[in-house]
């Protein structure tokens, strides 16, 4: 079973956007043990898309296309694949209704192009789009490769793939010797140190393979085992995880691709029935945004403050002026006062505070990257910790937010 991924869009050929859809699709196919031998990018051009379809059909058993399902004249993937397969287009009534409903509600004029978004390949299954308007198509073919058509925007493509495509591929094609992955998530250790500690494992063993991946402030290890059942894969993975844990277990905080430190912390708070609030200076709301990115976080988070200016710290949190004047905004004292006042005012179990220098400019003589994070708990001494983060403004803010979650995680 060889799949080929075709990304359609002139903006990719012009370098205006990077094709991340094919990365995502490749990851999912790798999980299923479906090989990808080629990827192609082609513009919104009928002739050249037909060429690409011809080549792909000659060398692959499955062709997955993303992009070109939208309402503009540029978007011609669906029509072109239909022409290539010599089939018609049918209308998905549910999709059509929800498109019409959207235009009614927003008092906007619907154009003929919008109707096209509700169409799918004749002979295929229409794939509903929960984050957008254009439906996809899952076309199984007796006499040639299967075709799967997906929308271009990643926010639409990803959920459609996970909810509509994955289970169909699993049923139809997942191979006997499957690949099973486990992602270990680390916080507080850099990628190079992690790789050094595990050098012999990463380079010396093939089942499971161990692939490190670094994002700002976090490192993950993806262990991938080949096995003929879930159970034997679990054994293989457990064994390697144990060896890893012995060496760097103190930095391991969680599992899974999407299970970030904020999610782990919010989940733990939920389970323990605890609540958190925050006051943010340099992070400007990023911590609270990260909490509320998670559906259901209202259970653990009532709200908090963005105290960007010094006077906001005084007025919103009733911190005495002298504290800030004597110690400075970027100080242990200010961080502690902020955390404690926030916890008391919001009546939560935890209060977290962020004050520091995101950059690019210095503040009170402190270089960019200097950050104090305070943490206050009921019946515990309020504490604050100093950090010196590297990286640009964005990186410093992201690292600060993660460090805040790290401090709470340590207490849970």
Binding residue for a second copy, selected from 71, 123, 128, 256, defined by CB under 8 A: 71
Give Cα separations from 9 to 98, 188, 254, 291 (angstroms): 26, 40, 37, 35
Binding residues among 175-194 for a second copy as defined by CB under 8 A: 190-193
Alpha carbons within 13 angstroms on the beta-carbon side of residue 151 total: 27
Instruction: Using the minimum distance from each CB to a second copy, give the nearer residue, 168 or 393.
Output: 393
Residues 134-173 that bind a second copy (CB under 8 A): 153, 155, 159
Min. distance of Cβ 361 from a second copy in angstroms?
8
288 near a second copy, rule: CB under 8 A: yes
- Interface with a second copy includes 256 (CB under 8 A)? no
Among 102, 228, 271, 321, binds a second copy (CB under 8 A): 102
Asked if 353 interacts with a second copy (CB under 8 A), we say no
CB 146, min distance to a second copy, A: 19
| Residue 287 Cβ vs a second copy, minimum distance, rounded to whole Å | 7
Stretch that binds a second copy, among 86-94, 142-150, 168-176, 356-364 (CB under 8 A): 356-364
What part of residues 26-45 is at the interface with a second copy (CB under 8 A)?
Answer: 26-30, 35-43, 45
Is residue 373 a contact partner of residue 407, using CB atoms and an 8 Å limit? Answer: yes
Options 100, 132, 234, 274; binder of a second copy; rule CB under 8 A: 132
Q: Which of 1, 24, 50, 79 binds a second copy (CB under 8 A)?
A: 24
> What secondary structure does DSSP assign to 187-253, as a single string?
ESS-HHHHHHHTHHHHHH--SSEEEEEEETTEEEEEEEEEESSHHHHHHHHHHHHHHHHHHHGGGEE
Nearest to 344 by CA among 271, 275, 403, 285: 275
Q: Is 412 in the site for a second copy (CB under 8 A)?
A: no
Near a second copy in 193-252, by CB under 8 A: 193, 195-196, 199, 202-203, 211-214, 216, 222
Say how far apart CA 358 and CA 355 lie, in whole Å. 9
Does residue 130 interact with a second copy by CB under 8 A? yes
Nearest to 122, CA basis, from 91, 96, 164: 91
Q: What DSSP element (H or E) covers 330?
A: none
Q: How far apart are CA 129 and CA 144, in angstroms?
A: 26
Choose which of 361, 365, 379, 381 interacts with a second copy (CB under 8 A): 361
Which is it for the CA torsion 300, 303, 308, 312, positive or negative?
Answer: negative
Least distance in angstroms from the C-beta of 197 to a second copy: 10
In sequence order, which residues have a C-beta less than 8 Å from that of residue 348 and are 6 or more positions away? 275, 276, 277, 302, 342
Instruction: For residue 351, list its beta bridge partners.
Output: 277, 376
The site for a second copy, by CB under 8 A, has a size of 114
Instruction: Single out the segment in contact with a second copy by CB under 8 A; choices: 23-31, 161-169, 238-246, 371-379.
Output: 23-31
Nearer to a second copy, 178 or 216 (CB): 216
């Amino acid at each position: 079973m060889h799949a080929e991924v075709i990304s359609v869009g002139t903006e990719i050929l012009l370098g205006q956007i990077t094709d991340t859809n094919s990365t995502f699709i490749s990851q999912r196919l790798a999980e299923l043990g479906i090989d990808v031998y080629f990827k192609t990018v082609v513009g919104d051009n009928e002739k050249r898309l037909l060429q690409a379809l011809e080549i792909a059909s000659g060398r692959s058993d499955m062709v997955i296309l993303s992009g070109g399902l939208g309402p503009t004249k540029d978007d011609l993937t669906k029509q072109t694949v239909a022409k290539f397969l010599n089939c018609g287009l049918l209308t998905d009534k549910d999709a059509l209704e929800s498109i019409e409903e959207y235009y009614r509600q927003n008092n906007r004029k619907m154009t003929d192009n919008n109707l096209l978004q509700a169409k799918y390949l004749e002979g295929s299954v229409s794939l509903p789009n929960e984050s957008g308007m254009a439906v996809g198509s899952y076309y199984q073919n007796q006499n040639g490769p299967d075709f799967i058509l997906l929308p271009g925007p990643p926010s639409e493509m990803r959920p459609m793939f996970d909810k509509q495509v994955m289970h169909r591929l699993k049923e139809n094609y997942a191979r006997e010797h499957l690949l099973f992955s486990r992602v270990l998530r680390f916080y507080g250790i850099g990628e190079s140190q992690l790789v050094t500690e595990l050098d012999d494992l990463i380079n010396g063993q093939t089942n499971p393979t161990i692939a490190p991946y670094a994002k700002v402030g976090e490192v993950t290890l993806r262990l991938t085992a080949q096995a003929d059942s879930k159970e034997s894969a679990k054994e293989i993975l457990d064994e390697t995880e144990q060896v890893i844990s012995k060496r760097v277990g103190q930095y391991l905080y969680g599992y899974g691709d999407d299970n970030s430190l904020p999610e782990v912390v919010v989940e733990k708070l939920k389970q323990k029935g605890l609540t958190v609030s925050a006051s943010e200076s340099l992070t400007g709301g990023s911590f609270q945004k990260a909490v509320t990115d998670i559906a259901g976080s209202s259970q653990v988070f009532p709200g908090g403050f963005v105290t960007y200016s010094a006077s906001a710290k005084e007025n919103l949190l009733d911190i005495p002026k002298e504290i800030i004047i004597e110690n400075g905004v970027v100080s242990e004292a200010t961080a502690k006062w902020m955390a404690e006042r926030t916890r008391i005012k919001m009546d939560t179990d935890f209060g977290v505070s962020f004050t520091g220098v995101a950059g690019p400019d210095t503040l009170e003589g402190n270089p960019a990257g200097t950050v104090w994070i305070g943490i206050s708990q009921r019946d515990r001494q309020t504490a604050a910790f100093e950090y010196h983060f590297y990286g640009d403004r964005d990186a410093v803010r992201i690292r600060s937010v993660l460090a805040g979650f790290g401090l709470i995680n340590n207490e849970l």
